[in-house]
Amino acid sequence: MKTLKFGGTSVGKPERMQHIARLIIQDPDPKIVVLSALSGTTNTLVDIGENLFEEKVDKAGQLIHDLHDHYMSFIDDLYSQDKFKESAIIAINEHFDFMNGLIAAFFNKRLNNELLAQGELMSTKIFSLYLDEQEIPSKLISALDFMYIDEDKEPDIEFTNDKLSGILYQNKGIGIFVTQGYICRNHEGEIDNLQRGGSDYTATLIGAAINAPEVQIWTDIDGMHNNDPRIVEKTYAISNLSFNEASELAYFGAKILHPSSIWPAQKYNVPVRLKNTMEPDAYGTLISDIEEEKKIKAVAAKDGITAIKIKSSRMLMAYGFLRKIFQIFENYRTPIDMISTSEVAVSLTIDDDSNLKSIMKELKDFGDIVVDDHQTIICIVGNKIVEKEEILQKVFRAMENVPVRMISYGGSRYNISILVDNKFKNETLRELNKHIFNI
């Protein structure tokens, strides 16, 4: 059974939703269809939640009201029969009743997570009713019954396999299942999510859990591009990527994929195909275990990075020093992305700065601390690129006018990472495009 995921823009307009219904029936193979919320909905839900936390109830109420209008006109345009319009209005109004009820409630993190789940719960109900109207046999299944994250927010593929196999077995003979991306339950049984952009992760987790022959991620662009198309003018789609290359790109900022979405596919060797909903015949990008020749494939950038330098002439070379420093980050469950050392200092980067104050307090025992925020990691990715002689030359030529804060080379065979101040990000991406890809 294949897994097909459609992102927010692919379901964001009634005609797009009608289009994907046609797309999924073109391929006769059985499938699980994973949907995101309609484009813009999750951003609005985040906004509503922030207003509720700040007790700005009028603003929250207005946002809910406007969102409701949007859904009512969406429903009106999507279905042709009154019977289906009415059913959809009843179903969607239940979600808006819940949202309006939050205005008088004591708002907290648990309710906020429930609020954030409304987008995917609504898009899948709307789509499933549309399939009914088109007389396309399908079954809506709830991701809350089989997607689970533990205390460390790690998904459990075995659990998903167990629960989902049972659900599929009970519904033998059905060829199209529809479910929500992004949402899950946590170890306390509460509604939670896989972080922003998490529907990609849902798709690969399901693909891994059911050992799908392929996971397809349908979006608004024809595959993974060699550079960020929002910033660099001339970019092109890459036909083939290895799991290693794709996971580096996803982790280091290529927005087309959720940062963690590749590991489940890699672990269970499920190929992932990136496809453009508006250009279904374009090849897209195939991500698989095939490693091609040594070649630079793409450049990506990850923002919101904080660099921390610990200077200590006395202790740095002592054995055990780095372990003690790393232990502090581990205690605060804060992953480190880049590291570089010298005789007197060690620099490292983090992207989760929620515990920075406490980390700094403990680090002060080890030396002087310098913190630079608003940093960006620029990541250059390709199979065995560190073995290709002229690559560093090209990279340094591209970086001629950009102050480099840190560089990491040789950490893996697939990636060279450079840390720059965020204000140099766009220029760096454009210069790398010129020097590395000659465009």
| List of residues contacting ligand ADP (CB under 6 A) | 7-10, 36, 197, 219-221, 224-225, 228-230, 254-256, 300
- Asked if 382 touches ligand ASP (CB under 6 A), the answer is no
- To which H or E segment does residue 206 belong? helix 199-209
Location of structure tokens 């399901």: 206
The residues of the shown chain that bind Mg ion, judged by CB under 5 A, are: 7, 197
Query: Which of ligand ADP, ligand ASP, Mg ion, none does residue 42 bind (CB under 5 to 8 Å by kind)?
Result: ligand ASP
Query: Which of ligand ADP, ligand ASP, Mg ion, none does residue 378 bind (CB under 5 to 8 Å by kind)?
Result: none
Q: Are 299 and 429 in contact (CB under 8 A)?
A: yes
Query: Which of ligand ASP, ligand ADP, Mg ion, none does residue 198 bind (CB under 5 to 8 Å by kind)?
Result: ligand ASP
Query: Which of ligand ADP, Mg ion, ligand ASP, none does residue 254 bind (CB under 5 to 8 Å by kind)?
Result: ligand ADP
Number of Cα atoms under 13 Å in the Cβ half of residue 156: 18
User: Count residues contacting ligand ASP (CB under 6 A)?
Assistant: 12
Q: Is 249 helix (H, G, I), strand (E, B) or coil?
A: helix
Residue nearest to Mg ion (CB): 197
Closer to ligand ADP by Cβ: residue 248 or 337: 248
Q: Are 214 and 270 in contact (CB under 8 A)?
A: yes
Least Å distance, CB 245 to Mg ion, is: 19
Location of structure tokens 């790690």: 154
Identified binder of ligand ASP from the candidate list 3, 9, 10, 42, rule CB under 6 A: 42
Cα–Cα distance measured from residue 111 to residue 413, given in angstroms and rounded to the nearest whole number: 44
Identified binder of ligand ASP from the candidate list 6, 8, 84, 276, rule CB under 6 A: 8
* Contacts for 242 with CB less than 8 Å, ≥ 6 apart: 287, 288, 289, 290, 291, 292, 383, 414
- Asked if 49 touches ligand ASP (CB under 6 A), the answer is no
Identified binder of ligand ASP from the candidate list 49, 155, 197, 259, rule CB under 6 A: 197
List binders of ligand ASP among 80-119 (CB under 6 A).
Answer: 119
- DSSP string spanning 357-424? HHHHHHHGGGSEEEEEEEEEEEEEE-TTGGG-TTHHHHHHHHTTTS-EEEEEEEEETTEEEEEEEGGG
- Asked if 36 touches ligand ASP (CB under 6 A), the answer is yes
Closer to ligand ADP by Cβ: residue 107 or 252: 252
Rounded-to-5 percentages of helix, strand, coil across the chain: 45, 20, 35
- Asked if 235 touches ligand ASP (CB under 6 A), the answer is no
Identified binder of ligand ASP from the candidate list 6, 84, 127, 182, rule CB under 6 A: 182
Q: Are 190 and 113 in contact (CB under 8 A)?
A: yes
Residue nearest to ligand ADP (CB): 7
- Asked if 155 touches ligand ASP (CB under 6 A), the answer is no
Q: Are 116 and 33 in contact (CB under 8 A)?
A: no
Closest of 171, 254, 192 to residue 219, by C-alpha? 254
Structure tokens, 242: 């290895």
Identified binder of ligand ASP from the candidate list 196, 311, 388, 434, rule CB under 6 A: 196
Q: Which residues bind ligand ASP (CB under 6 A)?
A: 7-8, 36-37, 42, 119, 181-182, 196-199
